[in-house]
Structure formats: structure tokens, C-alpha cells
Amino acid sequence: MDAHPADTDKTLGPGPGSAPPPPSAMPRRGFLALATAALGTLIAAVLAVPGAAFILTPLRRKGSGGEFHSVTRLSQLEVGVPRSFAIVEERRDAWVRYPREPVGSVWVIRQQPGQKEQVIAFQSECPHLGCAINLRGDQTGFLCPCHTSAFTFEGQPTNHVPPRPMDRLEVELSSDEDPEVRVKYQRFRTATEEKIPLA
């Protein structure tokens, strides 16, 4: 039985009478493959740069070093009487931004007239292990209820529990007639003698 012409083509390949591939076919195929690979590399590089920037930006972002928060007006502070103010901030981690919420609090004290600074402020986190510092029951100083760290209204320790004084915060007053009191809110490492800002 005679073989079908199609079967003959599959098994035998080009016959002696077949035309040879044009001499330029192989180099052109090679050039196209090379160009495709180069284009792919270029596209990958273009996409990779912004992608890498997006991923690395939060890692490169420095700690803010604290921001000033307006807490009250000077006229609202009674000389020598500490007042606590909540600090509300927008919280962020590496890639997520959360709604504004209380992140901590500060103690603010208006000083006697004639003092170098009209207002001083302290971080309310205890430098011992971070509990919230409160007023003593007799209102003569500060006291941390967790392990009894005690401080004067100048933030100096009055016992040996805390490793350092209360953490002072920068204060600035606006130039209004009744100045706005702004406190630079920062947090610090606990359980160290040195005052080390957290990033």
C-alpha cells in the first residue's frame, strides 16, 4: 500500500529537491530573539525601580523626631499647677496610615513669672518601665503607680526607683496676645539612665 503524501513529508524531511532556507533566516531569528530579550530586560528594569522605591521608602523614612502639638492657651494654665493633656496623632507603621487617635499624654506646668521658661512640659510615660505618671494624692509632686517612682514638679526623682528624671519636652509659645502652648511630643527609651529618643 502506497504511503500518504503527508506521511512522507513528516518522516523524510526536505528532499533533495527542496529549496534550502534563505541564507539570512538564521541571523534574523537570532536578532529578533536578542531584541526581545533586551526589551524584556528594559521593561523589567523600568517596573522594578518604582516598585523598589515603594518598598524601601518606609524603611528609609526617619523617625519624625517629634512634632509640636498645640495643647492649650497660656491663659488656661494656672501658675504652678500641673495639667495633663492628651496628644492625638495620626499613627503609621511601615505601610499603613491609621486614623488620628490618642498616642500619649504630657504634663504641662506654667512657671512663676520671671522664670527663664514660662511653661515646662514632661512626657507622662515613666522612665522606669513606661507606666503613666500621675499626680501624688497630696498634689505635691508626681507619682507613678506601678512601682512608686516619685518626682518633684521639676521632674527630679525623689526616690531611687526611676533610672532618670522625667523626660522634659520642648515647649514653644505662639506670638499671639494669649499665646498658644505647643509641646513637641516625643517618646524615650525606658529603663535607661540616658534619655534616648525612640525613632
Residue numbers at the binding site for ligand FES (CB under 6 A): 126, 128-131, 144, 146-149, 161
- Residue placing its CB nearer to ligand FES in the complex, 151 or 185: 151
Longest dimension (CA), the chain: 122
Q: Which residue has the cell 520671671?
A: 114
For ligand FES, which is the closer residue by CB, 119 or 169?
169
Least separation, in Å, of the C-beta of 142 and ligand FES? 10
Of residues 142 and 185, the one with the C-beta less far from ligand FES: 142
Q: How far is the CB of 166 from ligand FES (least distance, A)?
A: 10
Q: How near is the Cβ of 141 to ligand FES at its closest, in Å?
A: 14
Q: Which residues of 39-51 are buried (b: 16+ CB within 10 A; e: fewer)?
A: eeeeeeeeeeeee
**Min separation Cβ 56 and ligand FES, Å:** 36
103 vs 161, beta carbon nearer ligand FES: 161
- The 3-state DSSP composition of the chain as helix, strand, coil percent (nearest 5) reads 25, 30, 45
3-state secondary structure 108-138: EEECCCCCCCCEEEEECECCCCCCECEECCC
Tell me whether residue 177 or residue 194 sits nearer to ligand FES (CB atom).
194
Q: Report yes or no: 93 and 106 within 8 Å, Cβ to Cβ.
A: no
CB 25, CB 32: distance < 8 Å: no
Shortest Å, Cβ 83 to ligand FES:
20
